[in-house]
Structure 1
């Protein structure tokens, strides 16, 4: 069964769609919190969550003794990029609206939701994924097509420079900056991240790359905006219009590494 098949199967069930709606409203919930919203046994809710996890629509992580569940919009983005653009009928527009709603998920200090997680499976080596994230000759080919500068050692500087298109739109020469906290190539990169175009505080960004075997690796991006003002939280989930957001950036990255061509030019 393909990734698209798993996503379509998971979305076909109204209970699973409701669980995604709950996580869209407030991310990072425990099984108990989700169970309280449904007239269903704990086992039944766990079974639905497992289907969503298998489809990549939900990502989990441990926080102490608790297992937290996060909405992952990347499979929705991939469905949109691979299928929706082929059609213009109204039913297709409905899926596009769903994708827009998922990507527009904005975290605020009042909701208590301070972490976003994204996961994508890429048919490439961990080194290829690492290079695509950290080398300017790659970052200009996908996402918002901005060259990056990394000093890959603890305390080293990070800068994302404006593309020519962004400069023409009035963007500053440096649009995002930060500092490397941990660099373990090609497995893990932890850094601070600040959107200078918003004039906001530093947040924490983590890339984790795992070799899944058979030529496929997993890339998990975690953006923690704990303590950041609302606009910084928004920036964590939505990079400027040239890039669209983490879901779109990761979809573009996957396509580039698997086909040699980006989705957007």
Structure 2
């Protein structure tokens, strides 16, 4: 968290995050023209934001795209804000949920655990329910198999789809249709990719929500990821549950 606070302390870096908030997935060239500093200076600021986990980069051909990652800000919210001001601050961690052109959403978090334990937490329905606010995902987790997401008391399934790629304990690709209300059903299928990479005694978990995630798609489809991933990290590292109200997810069920 110290790294996150230091990164946010600089006004230029906060402005860079604002630029990515308004238009995600930008190149260095697109960002530098908005600032009256050198290209080298913009590069150094982006590197510091990436080191803090606030920016995630992806290669697209010869270009390097920069994406805003709201998960560290969600963790700051859960650690420092929610216990003091939860009623008005519950949405602070969902910065990406208000972007105007949601096409590809990238979320990244570091968790002190092993790839095997992290994979189990993603695929075991009992464990999943502990950090996903009661939601359980059931499947036999074979490639091409179906999965269903539900919760006790829900009038029907919250989601369903297919496991497109299953490579434990490092990669899981799923096609998903959200079913918790009629608006979500109308959005049709999207793709969620879980990537687990060991880094020292920890793991870097990257969740990418994309593929036919149309421009103007409802933010309900992806706004809950920072909350879910923060809960996953908290549970794996401490065994405790987040106190953030689960009613903020899945259409306020």
TM-score range, shorter chain: 0.7 to 0.9
User: Shift of the alpha carbon at 1:144?
Assistant: 2.8
Q: 1:13 to 1:97 in 2, by over 3 A?
A: farther
The aligned residue for residue 226 of structure 2 is 247
Which of 92, 113, 122 aligns to 1:99? It is 92
Q: 1:114 to 1:54 in 2, by over 3 A?
A: same
Query: Partners in 2 of 1:175 and 1:192 — Cα distance?
Result: 14
Do residues 211 (structure 1) and 213 (structure 2) align?
Answer: no
SS of aligned partner of 1:119: strand
Q: 1:226 to 1:37 in 2, by over 3 A?
A: farther
Native 8 Å contact 1:203 1:228 kept in 2:
no
SS of aligned partner of 1:104: helix
User: Shift of the alpha carbon at 1:5?
Assistant: 0.6
The aligned residue for residue 236 of structure 1 is 221
The aligned residue for residue 251 of structure 2 is none
Q: Which blocks of at least 5 consecutive residues in structure 1 are unaligned?
A: 239-244
SS of aligned partner of 2:141: coil
Query: Partners in 2 of 1:17 and 1:182 — Cα distance?
Result: 37
Native 8 Å contact 1:123 1:216 kept in 2:
yes
SS of aligned partner of 1:50: helix
Runs of 4+ aligned residues of structure 1 deviating over 6 Å after TM superposition are none
Cα deviations by residue, 1:194-242 (Å, 9 ceiling, x for unpaired): 11122121001000001111x21110000004353634x523322xxxx
Which of 33, 47, 51 aligns to 1:50? It is 47
The aligned residue for residue 179 of structure 2 is 196
Query: Partners in 1 of 2:82 and 2:90 — Cα distance?
Result: 13
SS of aligned partner of 2:98: coil
Q: Which blocks of at least 5 consecutive residues in structure 2 are unaligned?
A: 246-253
Query: Partners in 1 of 2:212 and 2:26 — Cα distance?
Result: 16
The aligned residue for residue 142 of structure 1 is 131
Root-mean-square deviation (CA, aligned residues, Å) is 2.1
Native 8 Å contact 1:201 1:228 kept in 2:
no
Cα deviations by residue, 1:21-76 (Å, 9 ceiling, x for unpaired): 11011110000011111111111100000010010000001111111100000000
The aligned residue for residue 151 of structure 2 is 162
